Amino acid sequence: MTLAPSVLFNIGSFPVTNTLLTTIVVDVIIIALVIVFNKCLSLYPKGIQNFLEMVYEYFYNATKEVSSKVEIIYPWVITFFIFIVISNVLGQFPGFETIRFHAAGTGEEGVPLFRTATSDLNVTLAFAVISIVMCHFYSIRYTGIKSYIGRFLSLSPIFLFVGLLEFIGEFTKIISLSCRLFGNLFAGESVMGTISSMSIKILGINIPLPFFGVPVPFMMLELMVAVIQAIVFAMLTMAFMSIMLEKH
Amino acid sequence: MDIITNILNLFGLEGKLFIAQIINFAILLIILKIFLYKPIAQILEERKAKIKQGLDDAENAKKALVDADNQKTLILKEAKVDADKILENTKVSSENYKQKSTEDAKKQAAEIVDNAKKQAQDEFVKASKQVGAMSVDLSKKIVAKILSEIFTEEDKNTVLSKAVEKIEQGGYEKTAN
């Protein structure tokens, strides 16, 4: 398994990678969920409506607890959570990493057709950049340019230094957000790939470890990581936005 | 610079893919905002309003029940007072009626007795008159028969008329006594 996503084919000069394909699959799943939700929308919830209302209410109330600008923050937080959690959980489904695509120059083994979207740094970095850029955008819009600049610049040397640290901190936020999610998911996939490909020799016969159900605990762990990392990303976005939306 | 390029290549960082992911997320956010968050917010608001309405209704019903209970107690109390009053009035009026009826009956009985007495008196007077008239007739006939044998027709008539006159006078006096 490589750090970089595999290019399946090119549309003009645009490379279509396996993580991009998975992103499209995730989009389709989310849109399908939205359609089903809107079709069975009722005052008395059941099934998918219950689940989506639960997610919405959880993040909405959590945002309400930390910020007064709940209406601005919550759509970003929930969208990050929904996309990341579906993408992460989807990676545990059969077919991911196992269905191979034979493109030109991919050799006899080919490349995985699907790969967890969040195990691609392009995706996690894009999300982190969106999260932090929107924090700054809303900070300027709702607290004013003076208050925004006041966060980083001050006439007092101590606060100027603190402001400098804050400024650097904004970049480290992007790196930490993107690398945390990418690292966890990539590591998980690597572990799963390694465990699934291992075998044990009994009486001269190679028996793969999955035959004994060895990957099951790892899958459970990965499912936990999938949900936890989605919550962490969403919650951090919420925290960053709520801090930036407060007047300095 | 080469190091950065190497790192970017190692992680497969590509500007086009990066921008594609940003656009993808933006589209997804807009779709979810319009077709998921808005309906959820609306339905939650509706449900909240309905629950509030239900709770308010329950509270009002509870209040109404307490009011009705109080009113019932009040009405029952008033009704009891009224019933007692009516009963008392009925007792009094029945007593009055009884008294009046008794007095009327006594009065009527006295009237009947008086009328009976008066009627008896009248009957007695009438009977006396009749008896008197009959006695006069009878005496006339007796005297006429006796006198026709002794006196002349002229004396007879004189005596007779005087006798009748006397009898009549005496008879009335007797009757009157």
What confidence category does residue A198 fall into, taking pLDDT thresholds of 50, 70 and 90? confident
Predicted confidence at residue B171, as pLDDT, reads 52
User: Mean pLDDT throughout A166-185?
Assistant: 94
* B177 or A209, greater pLDDT: A209
Per-residue pLDDT band at A116 (split at 50, 70, 90): very high
CB B139 within 8 A of CB B174: no
Spatial separation of the C-alpha atoms in residues B87 and B81, rounded to whole Å: 10
Per run of 10 residues, the mean pLDDT along chain B (length 177 residues) is 86 92 96 94 93 95 95 95 94 93 94 94 92 86 77 75 75 48
Domain enclosing residue B135, as ranges:
2-176
Confidence (pTM): 0.74
Nearest-CB residue to B46 (from A43, A83, A121): A43
Return the minimum-mean-pLDDT range out of A195-199, A232-236, B24-28, B171-175: B171-175
Percent of chain A scored above 90 by pLDDT?
61
Using the predicted structure, report yes or no on whether residue A174 has a pLDDT greater than 90.
yes
- Of the candidates A82, A80, B22, A84, the residue with the CA atom closest to the CA atom of residue B14: B22
How confident is the model at residue B17, as a pLDDT? 94
- How close is the nearest chain B Cα to the Cα of A154, in Å? 33
Nearest CA in chain A to B27: A27
Return the DSSP state at B152.
Answer: -
pLDDT of residue B166: 78
pLDDT band at residue A140 using 50, 70 and 90 as cut-offs: very high
Mean per-residue pLDDT over chain A, rounded? 91
pLDDT at A204: 86
Question: Which sequence spans correspond to the domains of chain A?
Answer: 7-244
Helices (H), chain A: 18-39, 48-66, 70-90, 121-143, 145-152, 157-197, 215-244
B43–A130 CB contact, under 8 Å = no
Smallest CA–CA separation between B60 and chain A, in Å?
24
Determine whether the interchain pair A3/B10 forms a contact, defined as Cβ–Cβ distance below 8 Å: yes
Give me the pLDDT at residue B1, please: 75
What is the value of ipTM here, to two decimals?
0.92
- CA–CA dist A86, A26 (Å, integer): 7
Note the pLDDT of residue B139. 81
The number of domains in chain B is: 1
Tell me which of A174 and A214 has the higher pLDDT.
A174
From CA B134, how far away is CA A74, in angstroms rounded? 140
